Amino acid sequence: MDVESRPLPITPVPITPVPITPVPAAETGAGFDPLDDPVRASLLGAHAHLAERRGRVLRYPLDVSPFLSMPHDPGPADWRDAAELAGEGGDVPLTGPAVVPPAGWEESRNIPGVQLTGERVAGARDPGVVRLGPADVPEMLDLVERTRPGPFLPRTVELGVYLGIRYGGALVAMAGERLHPPGWTEISAVCTDPAHRGRGLATRLVLAVAAGIRDRGETPFLHASATNTYAIRLYERLGFRLRRTTEFRTVRVPARDRTEGAP
């Protein structure tokens, strides 16, 4: 993928550091690695101000992110709390270690994925990118709708720094920060308008976001569908390396009469 040689007609915007908060050990248990459950590590740490809680179950507001975090040793009370948070027929993403839901909960999605880490990715500042904010959300949502990089909602921009590239005034590519476990920041929502692909825009944005992460003394990481070999090859070429395979697994809350009788 070639980086576009001509400068884009946009104004550079500085990247603002985002402070992080350690994960309380009492909430996670011994031997907890934040990258094994970055959703829980984020909701207990840097994103604790966004967390909605019921018992030991945590989730993001529904207009921020679809992720919900179960404890690693869920019991009947935890599943009931998850059902209350998600609502009857709602989906519960299982983002941490593999757990078995109670009878009546059906798997609604299971997509093989990969987690890659960027210990060797230094990043590169780019004067041709702009900082995106709340005023840009309508354009960001439109770009996401056309490119389908993964979940991006009206308040997802609050999770971290989002950068974009404009061409002729229009937003044609973007990438940003999503999950934020201690010492790490996930690069997410990497997408380019189909009419502008092949110009190296995704490369520029991933490296620019990574540079901001490195400025804070943190390390970038990311997730991708295991079938998205094009994106995986790009990330590996930039220096990311496979840490583990995973599953993007979701189970559905059963009907109320089935839930109430669960042991």
Task: Judge whether residue 195 has pLDDT over 50.
Answer: yes
Q: Encoding tokens for residue 259?
A: 């839930």
Residue 4 CA to residue 64 CA, distance in Å, equals 32
Task: Judge whether residue 18 has pLDDT over 60.
Answer: no
Mean pLDDT within 189-209 = 97
Q: Encoding tokens for residue 166?
A: 């404009």
Task: Judge whether residue 30 has pLDDT over 60.
Answer: no
Q: Between residues 159 and 256, which one has the greater pLDDT?
A: 159
Residue 81 CA to residue 84 CA, distance in Å, equals 5
Mean pLDDT within 171-191 = 97
pLDDT range class, residue 95, cuts 50, 70, 90: confident
Q: 32-76, pLDDT tens digit by residue?
A: 799 999 999 999 999 999 999 999 999 999 999 999 999 999 999
* DSSP one-letter string for 16-65: PP----PPPGGGT-TT--GGGSHHHHHHTTTTGGG-EEETTEEE--TTT-
Mean pLDDT within 100-127 = 94
Residue 81 CA to residue 231 CA, distance in Å, equals 36
- Percentage of the chain surpassing pLDDT 90? 80
- Indicate the residue type of 124: A
Mean pLDDT within 224-229 = 95
Task: Judge whether residue 116 has pLDDT over 50.
Answer: yes
Partnered with residue 184 across adjacent β-strands are: 219
Assess contact for 235 and 120: CB atoms under 8 A. Answer: no
Residue given tokens 């559905």 in the structure block: 252
- Percentage of the chain surpassing pLDDT 70? 86
> Helix 229-237 vs helix 201-215: angle between axes, to the nearest 10 degrees?
50
Residue 157 CA to residue 209 CA, distance in Å, equals 14
Give the global pTM.
0.86
